């Protein structure tokens, strides 16, 4: 699969949706949940605020965020793929008091008004966009002045470093073989290919500044294997 192909990425996540959360728990030893919590804590969402979860997948992050925004706040979870959104809707139906709304849409062309959100999150989505720079510009458009956003994704460590060698080895010898047991070997082999075109941390910071954010900070996590880009409008 060619990285950045929007239709192929949508198909990938539609097919992977039933196994996606279970595989992510296995492959990260549950740590992806800790990294998401860390991102939310750093951004400090407050009751009454309006937030977005872009490329929201099966909704775990949007639901956690919604719990922090009561009373008076709300979350719109947006994803291009229908199957993960269906799972997200099933989850939120078990907590109907949470202020969350699901919307199928393109993170590069959101059907949302300018300056409609106080904050936004994106977990493992920026890397899959056809144009990450355009995604950051669209994110800036929908954030109010003073708004903030966190974008969590795989980091691209410098070539030849221990982190880069470990990441490549883990993806090839652990991630793909485990995913193959669920019939998703090709889907998870895509991870390494997508990283090859993904901007590294300093480049992400510059893309965010070029998109109109007044401040941007990229911090490596998990020994450099993951990265958190935090931006302020």
Residue 162 forms part of a structural domain:
no
In this structure, of 15-24, 92-101, 172-181, the range with the lowest mean pLDDT score is 15-24
In whole numbers, what is the pLDDT of the chain averaged over residues? 91
Whole domain around residue 78: which residue ranges?
6-156+199-232
Name the band, by pLDDT with cuts 50, 70 and 90, for residue 5. Answer: low
194 compared with 108, residue with greater pLDDT? 108
Name the band, by pLDDT with cuts 50, 70 and 90, for residue 17. Answer: confident
Residue 188 forms part of a structural domain:
no
The pLDDT of residue 16: 72
Residue 185 forms part of a structural domain:
no
Residue 72 forms part of a structural domain:
yes
Name the band, by pLDDT with cuts 50, 70 and 90, for residue 4. Answer: low
Residue 183 forms part of a structural domain:
no
**Residue 145 clears pLDDT 90, i.e. is over it:** yes
The domain tally of the chain equals 1
**Per-residue pLDDT tens for 34-85?**
999 999 999 999 999 999 999 999 999 999 999 999 999 999 999 999 999 9
Q: What is the CATH number of the domain that holds 64?
A: 3.40.50.150
Q: Per-residue pLDDT averaged across 178-191, rounded?
A: 80
Residue 209 forms part of a structural domain:
yes
Residue 145 forms part of a structural domain:
yes
Residue 124 forms part of a structural domain:
yes
3-state secondary structure labels for all residues of the chain: CCCCCHHHHHHHHHHHHHHHHHHHHHHHCCHHHHHHHHHHHHHCCCCCCEEEEECCCCCHHHHHHHHHHCCCCEEEEEECCHHHHHHHHHHHHCCCCCCEEEEECECCECCCCCCCEEEEEEECCHHHCCCHHHHHHHHHHHEEEEEEEEEEEECCCCCCCHHHHHHHHHHHHHHHHHHHCCCCHHHHHHHHHHHHCCCCHHHHHHHHHHCCCCEEEEEEEHHHCEEEEEEEC
């Amino acid at each position: 699969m060619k990285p950045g192909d929007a239709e192929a990425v949508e198909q990938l996540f539609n097919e992977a949706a039933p196994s996606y959360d279970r595989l992510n728990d296995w492959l990260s030893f549950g740590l992806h949940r800790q990294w998401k919590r860390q991102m939310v804590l750093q951004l400090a969402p407050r009751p009454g605020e309006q937030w977005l979860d872009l490329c929201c997948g099966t909704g775990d992050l949007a639901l956690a965020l919604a719990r922090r925004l009561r009373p008076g706040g709300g979350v719109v979870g947006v994803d291009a793929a229908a199957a993960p959104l269906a799972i997200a809707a099933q989850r939120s139906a078990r907590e109907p008091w949470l202020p969350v709304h699901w919307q199928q849409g393109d993170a590069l062309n959101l059907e949302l008004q300018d300056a409609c959100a106080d904050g936004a999150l994106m977990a493992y989505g920026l890397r899959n966009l056809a144009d990450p720079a355009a995604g950051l510009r669209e994110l800036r458009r929908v954030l109010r002045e003073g708004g903030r956003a966190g974008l969590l994704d795989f980091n691209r460590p410098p070539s030849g470093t221990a982190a880069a060698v470990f990441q490549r080895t883990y993806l090839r010898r652990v991630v793909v073989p485990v995913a193959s047991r669920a019939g998703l070997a090709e889907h998870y082999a895509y991870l390494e290919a997508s990283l090859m075109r993904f901007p590294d941390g300093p480049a992400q910071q510059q893309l965010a500044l070029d998109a109109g954010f007044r401040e941007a900070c990229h911090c490596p996590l998990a020994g450099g294997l993951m990265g958190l880009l935090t931006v302020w409008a």
